[in-house]
């Protein structure tokens, strides 16, 4: 089934369902902290007699944790994260993972950050930044509400596990044994000594807390988000801004640890060593010439050379974690356009003609809504073409060429996202693109 470019909630936004996703989100970052592994290792050391605690509270908590027969397994937790958040690695046993959560999340944090920096600036003929916040909040709330439904029992078990974990890590005897002042130092020290390396406790703790606050805000305002008309600006928006800014700082996005540079072919890199989302968006607008493209598409600029493509096809390339997706959202927010993620794997079909039909349907809907399209995981489009050995290979190559020709003819804005950089050895990639923007890793320090 192809993505809906104008998602609407199938039913009311339910606060309790969002709180279910909030609990799963927090637990997912406990997983990143290796907190569950830390407590499992503590239990193992205690049972082996390598961590004597006597008969105190800490020993009882470890024994109770070890004997609990209701705890979720690591596999069950991964399946829950995949189902509610689309977090990888996934599982084939999850039939309907939340594929849109990450995109909708970035859309919200980007729109909130832009609202904070531009203070409700208005682009003529486009929705205000406050309206963009409301629309992004409503879309994420609807998504979380839909995917949190039916998971309450699993979250009860997960919450019980998290509470038991916290009780163990907050036991005074256990903290004293590791010279720690709180549970976070216990995690840090056991991970470093027993699990092969330290984790960035402060980062994941801040991500867990700030992300949880964002979802709490959505749950608290579910009644407003259910209304057909938004309040401008949203109520208590300061709380949402604070949570978003903390999340961005913790993820590295606003501090330049991911989105530092955007360098297109033949154009100098961003000079600043530390940039925020607005600076990144402004630089991407300059590099891509987005405003000129939009003016041409909206018929407000002078006629262009007929050789010039009507729209814009840009490849954002760089390693995972360098900020390509966040940059695309920042670019779309600056242009006051919706950004719609398209999964290439759901477009390609083994049946002749189906790929073209799928693509045409998406492009037609994008034209109707004025949306910017983001095709993620586009690596296959810019690698070396396969040697044609059978009918399947030939069909795959024809699909790639047809897709790129159709995208170049599209009267809209398309961003392709790839983790690999095309090289001169890659066949004809320059003929397929309008422009390329590279997101290199930032220099250390």
The answer to the question of residue 10 being in a domain is no
Same-domain pairing of 202 and 100: yes
pLDDT at 428: 55
Give residue-wise pLDDT tens across range 268-284.
233 223 346 777 778 88
The answer to the question of residue 312 being in a domain is yes
Rounded CA gap, 429 and 73, in Å?
46
Is residue 104 within 8 Å of residue 208, measured between CB atoms? no
Same-domain pairing of 234 and 281: no
Task: Give me the helices (H) in 119-200, please.
Answer: 129-148, 152-170, 172-177, 183-194
pLDDT at 349: 66
Higher pLDDT among residues 346 and 217, named by residue = 217
Same-domain pairing of 188 and 54: yes
Sign of the C-alpha dihedral computed for residues 357, 365, 144 and 258 taken in this order = positive
Higher pLDDT among residues 299 and 245, named by residue = 245
pLDDT at 383: 52
Rounded CA gap, 290 and 216, in Å?
35
Q: Which of 203, 223, 251 is the last residue of a domain?
A: 251
Q: Which of 251, 286, 306 is the last residue of a domain?
A: 251
Which of 133-137, 183-187, 395-399 has the weakest average pLDDT?
A: 395-399
The answer to the question of residue 258 being in a domain is no
Query: How many helices, marked H, and strands, marked E, lie in the chain?
Result: 18, 6
For range 280-305, the mean pLDDT? 72
Higher pLDDT among residues 256 and 337, named by residue = 337
Q: What residues form DSSP beta bridges with 438?
A: 263, 317
pLDDT at 395: 40
Whichever domain contains 274, its CATH number is 3.40.50.300
For range 304-321, the mean pLDDT? 72
The answer to the question of residue 45 being in a domain is yes
Same-domain pairing of 309 and 397: yes
Rounded CA gap, 367 and 6, in Å?
12
pLDDT at 350: 60
Q: Count of CB atoms within 10 A of residue 353's CB?
A: 8
The answer to the question of residue 413 being in a domain is yes
For range 302-314, the mean pLDDT? 64
Is residue 241 within 8 Å of residue 214, measured between CB atoms? no
pLDDT at 205: 93
Higher pLDDT among residues 70 and 187, named by residue = 187
DSSP string, 12-79: ---HHHHHHHHHHHHHHHHHHTTHHHHHHHHHHHHHTTSS--TTSHHHHHHHHHHH-SSPPPHHHHHH
Same-domain pairing of 193 and 86: yes
Give residue-wise pLDDT tens across range 148-157.
998 999 999 9
Token pair recorded at residue 142: 């609807």
**Domain assignment of residue 309, given as a range:** 263-438
Q: Which of 209, 226, 251 is the last residue of a domain?
A: 251
DSSP string, 363-383: HHHHHHHTPEEEEE--GGGSS
> How does the average pLDDT of the chain come out, rounded?
79
Q: What does DSSP assign to residue 180? A: -
Q: What residues form DSSP beta bridges with 416?
A: 315, 375
pLDDT at 380: 66
Same-domain pairing of 242 and 120: yes
Same-domain pairing of 68 and 168: yes
Give residue-wise pLDDT tens across range 72-108.
999 999 999 999 999 887 777 888 899 889 888 988 9
Chain centre to alpha carbon of residue 430:
29
Same-domain pairing of 433 and 289: yes
Give residue-wise pLDDT tens across range 332-383.
888 878 888 887 777 766 665 777 788 888 888 888 888 889 888 777 666 5
Same-domain pairing of 174 and 294: no
The answer to the question of residue 443 being in a domain is no
Q: What's the full length of the chain, in residues?
A: 445
Residue 404: band (very low, low, confident or very high) from pLDDT cuts 50, 70, 90: confident
Which of 11-25, 296-310, 315-329, 395-409 has the weakest average pLDDT?
A: 296-310
pLDDT at 275: 45
Is residue 5 within 8 Å of residue 362, measured between CB atoms? yes
Number of domains in the chain: 2
Sign of the C-alpha dihedral computed for residues 277, 212, 165 and 83 taken in this order = negative
Sign of the C-alpha dihedral computed for residues 112, 117, 118 and 119 taken in this order = positive
Give residue-wise pLDDT tens across range 103-141.
889 889 988 888 887 654 545 555 677 888 888 899 999
Is residue 165 within 8 Å of residue 39, measured between CB atoms? yes
Chain centre to alpha carbon of residue 384:
28
Same-domain pairing of 113 and 216: yes
Same-domain pairing of 246 and 286: no
Asked whether the predicted pLDDT for residue 172 surpasses 90, the reply is: yes
The answer to the question of residue 229 being in a domain is yes
The answer to the question of residue 6 being in a domain is no
Q: Count of CB atoms within 10 A of residue 347's CB?
A: 20
Same-domain pairing of 236 and 267: no
Bond into 36 cis (ω within 30): no
Q: Is 236 left (phi over 0), alpha (psi -120 to 50) or beta?
A: left
**Element housing 250 (H / E):** helix 237-251
Which of 30-34, 134-138, 294-298 has the weakest average pLDDT?
A: 294-298
């Amino acid at each position: 089934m192809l993505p809906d470019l104008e998602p609407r909630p199938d039913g009311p936004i339910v606060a309790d369902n969002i709180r279910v996703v909030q609990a799963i989100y927090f637990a997912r970052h406990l997983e990143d902290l290796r907190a569950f592994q830390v407590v499992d290792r503590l239990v193992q050391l205690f049972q082996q007699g390598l961590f004597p605690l006597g008969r105190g509270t800490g020993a009882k908590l470890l024994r109770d944790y070890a004997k609990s027969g209701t705890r979720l397994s690591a596999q069950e937790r991964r399946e829950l994260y995949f189902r509610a958040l689309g977090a990888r690695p996934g599982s084939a046993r999850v039939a309907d993972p939340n594929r849109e959560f990450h995109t909708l999340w970035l859309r919200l944090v980007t729109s909130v950050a832009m609202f904070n920096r531009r203070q409700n600036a208005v682009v003529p003929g486009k929705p205000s930044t406050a309206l963009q916040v409301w629309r992004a909040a409503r879309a994420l709330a609807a998504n979380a509400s839909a995917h949190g439904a039916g998971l309450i029992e699993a979250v009860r078990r997960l919450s019980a596990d998290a509470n038991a974990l916290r009780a163990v890590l907050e036991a005074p005897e256990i903290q004293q044994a590791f010279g720690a002042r709180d549970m976070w130092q216990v995690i840090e020290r056991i991970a470093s000594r027993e699990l092969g390396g330290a984790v960035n406790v402060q980062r994941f703790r801040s991500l867990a807390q700030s992300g949880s606050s964002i979802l709490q805000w959505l749950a608290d305002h579910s009644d407003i988000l259910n209304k057909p008309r938004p309040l401008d600006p949203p109520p208590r928006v300061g709380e949402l801004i604070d949570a978003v800014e903390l999340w961005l700082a913790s993820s590295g996005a606003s501090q330049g640890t991911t989105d530092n540079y955007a360098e297109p072919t033949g154009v100098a890199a961003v000079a600043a060593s530390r940039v925020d989302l607005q600076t990144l968006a402004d630089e991407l607008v300059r590099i891509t010439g987005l405003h000129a493209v939009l003016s041409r598409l909206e018929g407000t600029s002078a006629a262009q050379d007929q050789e010039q493509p009507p729209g814009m096809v840009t490849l954002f390339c760089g390693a995972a974690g360098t900020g390509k997706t966040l940059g695309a959202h920042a670019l779309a927010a600056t242009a006051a356009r919706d950004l719609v993620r398209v999964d290439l794997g759901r477009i390609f079909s083994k049946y002749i003609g189906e790929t073209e039909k799928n693509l045409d349907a998406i492009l037609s809907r994008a034209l109707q809504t004025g949306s910017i399209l983001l095709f993620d995981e586009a690596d296959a489009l810019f690698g070396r073409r396969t040697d044609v050995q059978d009918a399947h290979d030939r069909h795959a190559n024809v699909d790639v060429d047809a897709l790129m020709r159709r995208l170049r003819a599209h009267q809209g804005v398309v961003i392709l996202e790839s983790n690999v950089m095309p090289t001169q050895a890659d066949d004809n990639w320059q003929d397929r693109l309008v422009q390329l923007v590279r997101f290199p890793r930032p220099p250390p320090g």
